[in-house]
Structure 1
Amino acid sequence: MSAEDDENFLRSCFVSTGALNDLRSMWSPKCIVVGRTGSGKSALLLSLQEEEENVIKIDPESLSLNYISNSTIIQFFDSLGIDLNVFYQLLWRHVLAVELIKMKKQLNDEATSKSWIATLRQKLMGNPKKQKAINYLFEYGDSFWADTEERVREVVTKIEKGFEDQIGINIEAFKTKLTADMKDKNLESIQQTTEIVSKAQRVVNGVQLQELNAVMDLLSEDVFDDDQERFYIVIDDLDTGWVHDSIRFKLIRALIETIKKFKKVPNLKIVISLRADLLESVLSHTTSAGFQQEKYEDMYLRLRWSESQLKELSDKRISLLFKQQYTNSSASFYDIFSKKVGDTDAFSYMFERTLQRPRDVIAFVNQCLEDAAGQTSITHRTIRQAEDAYSQNRLRSLADEWREAYGDLEGVLECLSAVDPRFSAKDLTQEIMENACLTLMCDESDENGYGVFRKQCDLILSSQSTWDEMRKKVFEVLYSVGALGLKTRDGAPYAWSFQNQPTLQYNKVTDETTFAIHPMLFKALGKYTDPRRLI
């Protein structure tokens, strides 16, 4: 069910939705693939790597950016509120520029690198601006042949030294002095500290953006100057633990801004993938004054799947499975599945019980195949039977998918078993929420310790919040993760986060608002209502 482990089926069963064409096109601004877990982001990037010749895949873990979070100097100045965004952009630009030059010019050893650099310097002898750009690249380390980790260390060490040189004292001694001064409330010394912090900010601001822009011109005009060649950098797995959480959002924000700057190079494209919830977290945690999100909207390629596209995906995968294991003739979904479940088309029945993404469909079909072992076909009874295990697994997967953002969700999802499949806000009573809180407070396995709901329970216990606030939080989060949909008035369709607005504006919830539990969770929560009017 994950693209990186699906090489056999992925290559033969790829379904074209137009997204790959957007990524390959140098004219299209789409370069940040945004989607939920299991929506096909990794599959899309893997296909791009297979379709194009000149692709650099950068594994975030190989960058060793934890070196930054482990730097006591960087950590210290970050804790003092110094804006390090320009420094993070410098780091990304340097790493990406060097990786591109290495690939384009095949600079894999010291001798080749020095020869190319000398030739380039000679060529640009009469261009002071580009000479500065070359000097700037080597100011932060001239080891083009070294691995990426070493170059990251070179850049960070350079900034650290700049901090100490500008301040004129040892950072560790300064930290000890500041701690003592804050404890003694020594105002004169604290004022001196403020001046030192101001100097440190100047070190960051001193990153020469003009030279950075000159590097872009150098790449465009003197390195990637062949219009017939296209080059790509692909970065996936930014949602994994490649760097400490304390700086991850800031580094991703800086990467997004850096990608925008590299658009000056016409035959180069940097493509990254981000979970939809991770992008929302990055923007909410790092947005500064004057930030305009709409300026970045053109860069987002939001993955959405129709029922017909997911049906095509199922047909292709079933056909390949049967060719490999049973027969050389093709088989499609309806060759082995019952055409109806009750009065509903069988695939539509299964589609309604997904969050409209490939992983859910693959999981449901696989469960049906497992439960139908030894049978000649998959009947409507088998589909309903498979739905039991599928629904339980999807509930757990949904909680796992959003655990990083919200903490433990299973206890909160289970509280939906106490309401009808369609219900109003007031039906989520205080008693139901108290039971959810008891489950959360008694859960000693919660590795995140304090997710949003456990924090909310603590606030209620200490009289710092109310059950109304808890109810609001439940609806906002469960709507965002896709467990709940809502319609604001009779006759209106249900809105879902994976189809419509990704977040819930709770101030628009009224007595007329109806919430609905997603049919994917029906069996796990003991619900048996016909969902045809929900999705």
Structure 2
Amino acid sequence: MASGAGAARRNNLSIGGEQAEADPLLMEAFYESDDYSTIADREDARCFLIARTGSGKSAVLQRLEEDNSERVVRIAPEDLSLNYITNLGVMRFLDDLEVSLDPLFIALWKHVLLVELIRHRYKVDSHTAKTNFLATLRDKIKRDPGKRAALDYLEEFQDRFWVEADERVREITEKFEEKINKEAKGTLSLTGNSTASASATVSGGSADTFSTETRRELSERFQRIVNETQMARLNKMLRVLDEDILESRQNFTFVVIDDLDRDWVDEKLANSLVRCLFRAVLDLQRVRNLKIIVALRTNIFENLDFGHRSGGQEEKFRSLALHMRWSPGELRELINDRLRVASSKRGVAVSSIGEVFPRTNATRGDAFDYMLQRTLMRPRDIIAFVNETFTATGGERVSWEDIKTAEDSYSHKRLLALRDEWKMSYPDIDRVFAVFSGSTIPMSQEEFTRRIDDAALLLADPYFRGSDWLDWMTAAMWNNSAGSWADWYGPLVTLLYNIGFIGCVTGRQASVRYVRTFPEYAERTSNLEATTGYTIHPTFQAALDIRVDGSRYGADIRRTP
């Protein structure tokens, strides 16, 4: 093949999309990591797949579905009317009264999971199919009175059993709303609140209009109604599921739930819904031939407030969590696999990244290692960077100049991606990133403090949309409260560290610590007090025009990506 032809084809080469749903190479060049093997292992109890965006959660679940096409039930949150639930007036009203909605939400999840498993197992898609299924099951359990009573739960759905899941969720929720409104009417009439009782509904009301005594009485009465939704017959059906529906290994089923990090109307109620899903999954682990896998972003998992409302089960939840992390060797193999498949499709045989990237030399080192250091060690990052270099190259091999050219575009896109990843929780966080533009790193504590002070001054800008979170994180600075530097600046520093934007320089050898390898570092005040300097993660340095002063690091700088 002529050199020019090879270069032209390589110039247009792509090793795949950054998102699983838009990745043409996902199945052909899938890298079977240890994390995938764990999730696919029917005997491994770990079922909560926790990772940051871009780490490959969705890819793992899609591959699992591909490898077990007849054994996977996928439940899409957008098909369950969850936004409808969290935006319902009665839910907001009960939340204002501090009524725990957990029993209702747990029951809803169990109901959805149970019915979807039955539909999958028996292909229930019509009245006839439902009738046949119930007859078969009733015959199997006819000698067990407890199980026969459990079937009454399914009978309640009559001809609506096979309708879409969102319709069943809405039906249960609407019946619950009717109970609450009926109870509210009677309770409010007893309190003498004629205006409220006449309305006969709490759906659009506010709990703030009631006296403390009325609030307490309403809360107690409504809590009893919520607690009744534990649904004893529903829990008995789980025994039927284990012993009579998924009774054999031949009926082993995976349930996959992804995309729980989509935009929600009410974040607080949404977190309750997700936490209750985890509770339901924990209860369903008693079903031997079932594995429910829930994928969730790290920041949402950490905000689920397990300790406060999980009934002392936080340790169980965390023991069942698999935190996805990639090693440099795994990412290299992933890129090599993709490069082999992508190049063969273009008629250019390339077996490894070393064949097309600059050769390792004593001055610049290994090109791929250089690129990895400018990622957050996620597949999405390195795929994007490699694709950028192929776009930039004009020769037979990628040059260092091509990599530097690609880095500018790549870094800007990664900074935007970091903003997008966190903007729901921290609106306008990109404006905090911008205050570090033009910095020389490593920054001393004094230099870094000046930048943090500039970030705090964003509160004076009426157009800044992050006032709520930034005010909370800088409250100690504004109040002149007693304490150390870490007490004043710690909350904002910890945030920037935990999302991967900054690193902490520490020790005589000026080692740089980043969240990937030291995830708990910024959580301890003593560590922040021992930090001698700060740096911006290499991923974002080009985008922010960061200047590196090597002499500031010392002779033995050790940078860990």
Q: Which amino acid aligns with 1:433?
A: I
Measured at CA, do residues 112 and 307 of structure 1 come closer, stay the same or move farther in structure 2, by a change above 3 Å?
same
Work out whether 1:335 is the aligned partner of 2:355.
yes
Compare relative contact order (CA 8 Å, sep 6+) and give the higher one, 1 or 2. 2
After TM superposition, list the pairs within 5 Å mapping 1:90-105 onto structure 2: 90-105=107-122
State the partner residue of 1:135: 152
Cα deviation for residue 158 of structure 1 reads 2.4
Cα deviation for residue 266 of structure 1 reads 0.9
State the partner residue of 1:260: 282
More displaced 10-residue stretch of structure 1: 39-48 or 379-388? 379-388
Q: Is the 8 A contact 2:89 2:202 kept in 1?
A: no
Aligned with 2:492 (options 446, 460, 474): 474
State the partner residue of 1:22: 38
Measured at CA, do residues 228 and 290 of structure 1 come closer, stay the same or move farther in structure 2, by a change above 3 Å?
closer
TM-score, structure 1 normalization? 0.89
Q: Is the 8 A contact 1:63 1:148 kept in 2?
A: yes
Q: Is the 8 A contact 2:459 2:467 kept in 1?
A: no
SS of 2:249 mapped into structure 1: coil
More displaced 10-residue stretch of structure 1: 131-140 or 200-209? 131-140
SS of 1:510 mapped into structure 2: helix
Post-superposition CA distance 1:370-400 (Å, at most 9, x none): 111x322211121122212222222221122
Measured in 1, the distance between the counterparts of 2:534 and 2:58 equals 33
Cα deviation for residue 248 of structure 1 reads 0.9
Between the two proteins, the alignment pairs up a number of residues equal to: 524
Q: Which amino acid aligns with 1:380?
A: W
Work out whether 1:348 is the aligned partner of 2:365.
no
Cα deviation for residue 168 of structure 1 reads 5.0
SS of 1:377 mapped into structure 2: coil
Measured at CA, do residues 172 and 306 of structure 1 come closer, stay the same or move farther in structure 2, by a change above 3 Å?
farther
SS of 1:194 mapped into structure 2: helix
Q: Is the 8 A contact 1:395 1:521 kept in 2?
A: yes
Q: Which amino acid aligns with 1:421?
A: I
Aligned with 1:34 (options 44, 50, 56): 50
Work out whether 1:358 is the aligned partner of 2:379.
yes
Q: Is the 8 A contact 2:335 2:353 kept in 1?
A: yes
Aligned with 1:62 (options 79, 86, 94): 79
After TM superposition, list the pairs within 5 Å mapping 1:73-222 onto structure 2: 73-139=90-156, 143-167=160-184, 169=186, 172-173=199-200, 175=202, 190-208=212-230, 210-222=232-244
Measured in 2, the distance between the counterparts of 1:383 and 1:326 equals 23
Work out whether 1:293 is the aligned partner of 2:314.
yes
Q: Which amino acid aligns with 2:256?
A: V
Measured in 2, the distance between the counterparts of 1:198 and 1:234 equals 36
Measured at CA, do residues 491 and 75 of structure 1 come closer, stay the same or move farther in structure 2, by a change above 3 Å?
same
Measured at CA, do residues 463 and 489 of structure 1 come closer, stay the same or move farther in structure 2, by a change above 3 Å?
closer
Post-superposition CA distance 1:467-510 (Å, at most 9, x none): 95663233111101111222543358533222222562251122
Post-superposition CA distance 1:114-161 (Å, at most 9, x none): 222133234433322112222234446762211111110121122223
State the partner residue of 2:519: 501
State the partner residue of 2:425: 405
Cα deviation for residue 174 of structure 1 reads 6.3
Structure 2 portions without partners, runs of 5+: 1-16, 187-196
Q: Which amino acid aligns with 1:207?
A: T
Measured in 2, the distance between the counterparts of 1:425 and 1:280 equals 28
Aligned with 2:298 (options 276, 296, 306): 276
Cα deviation for residue 166 of structure 1 reads 4.1
Cα deviation for residue 346 of structure 1 reads 0.7
Measured in 2, the distance between the counterparts of 1:492 and 1:27 equals 44
More displaced 10-residue stretch of structure 1: 234-243 or 105-114? 234-243
Measured in 2, the distance between the counterparts of 1:175 and 1:154 equals 18
Q: Is the 8 A contact 1:73 1:171 kept in 2?
A: no
Measured in 2, the distance between the counterparts of 1:255 and 1:19 equals 22
Q: Which amino acid aligns with 1:147?
A: E
Work out whether 1:368 is the aligned partner of 2:389.
yes
State the partner residue of 1:4: 20
Q: Is the 8 A contact 1:369 1:378 kept in 2?
A: yes
Measured in 1, the distance between the counterparts of 2:112 and 2:521 equals 35
Q: Which amino acid aligns with 2:106?
A: Q
Aligned with 2:404 (options 384, 408, 415): 384
Measured at CA, do residues 464 and 219 of structure 1 come closer, stay the same or move farther in structure 2, by a change above 3 Å?
same
SS of 1:287 mapped into structure 2: helix
State the partner residue of 1:396: 416
Measured in 1, the distance between the counterparts of 2:292 and 2:206 equals 43
Measured at CA, do residues 231 and 80 of structure 1 come closer, stay the same or move farther in structure 2, by a change above 3 Å?
same
Aligned with 1:224 (options 242, 246, 261): 246
SS of 1:428 mapped into structure 2: helix
Q: Is the 8 A contact 1:3 1:10 kept in 2?
A: no
Post-superposition CA distance 1:291-317 (Å, at most 9, x none): 342221221111111111111111122
SS of 1:274 mapped into structure 2: strand
Measured in 1, the distance between the counterparts of 2:448 and 2:260 equals 36
State the partner residue of 1:524: 543
Post-superposition CA distance 1:409-448 (Å, at most 9, x none): 2222233346542234333234x3343345565483x6x5
Measured in 1, the distance between the counterparts of 2:214 and 2:501 equals 53
Post-superposition CA distance 1:6-60 (Å, at most 9, x none): 4421111111212222112221011111111101111000000001121111111
Measured in 2, the distance between the counterparts of 1:166 and 1:485 equals 55
Measured at CA, do residues 203 and 262 of structure 1 come closer, stay the same or move farther in structure 2, by a change above 3 Å?
same
Measured at CA, do residues 523 and 153 of structure 1 come closer, stay the same or move farther in structure 2, by a change above 3 Å?
same
Q: Is the 8 A contact 2:392 2:406 kept in 1?
A: yes
More displaced 10-residue stretch of structure 1: 228-237 or 451-460? 451-460
Cα RMSD after superposing both structures: 3.0
Measured at CA, do residues 175 and 108 of structure 1 come closer, stay the same or move farther in structure 2, by a change above 3 Å?
closer
More displaced 10-residue stretch of structure 1: 207-216 or 109-118? 207-216
Q: Is the 8 A contact 1:488 1:513 kept in 2?
A: yes
SS of 1:426 mapped into structure 2: helix
Q: Which amino acid aligns with 2:429?
A: L
Cα deviation for residue 335 of structure 1 reads 1.4
SS of 2:95 mapped into structure 1: helix
State the partner residue of 1:47: 63
SS of 1:413 mapped into structure 2: helix
Cα deviation for residue 264 of structure 1 reads 1.0
Measured at CA, do residues 495 and 87 of structure 1 come closer, stay the same or move farther in structure 2, by a change above 3 Å?
same
Q: Is the 8 A contact 2:254 2:292 kept in 1?
A: yes
SS of 1:494 mapped into structure 2: strand
Q: Which amino acid aligns with 1:510?
A: E
Cα deviation for residue 515 of structure 1 reads 2.8
Q: Which amino acid aligns with 1:39?
A: S
Q: Is the 8 A contact 2:89 2:204 kept in 1?
A: no
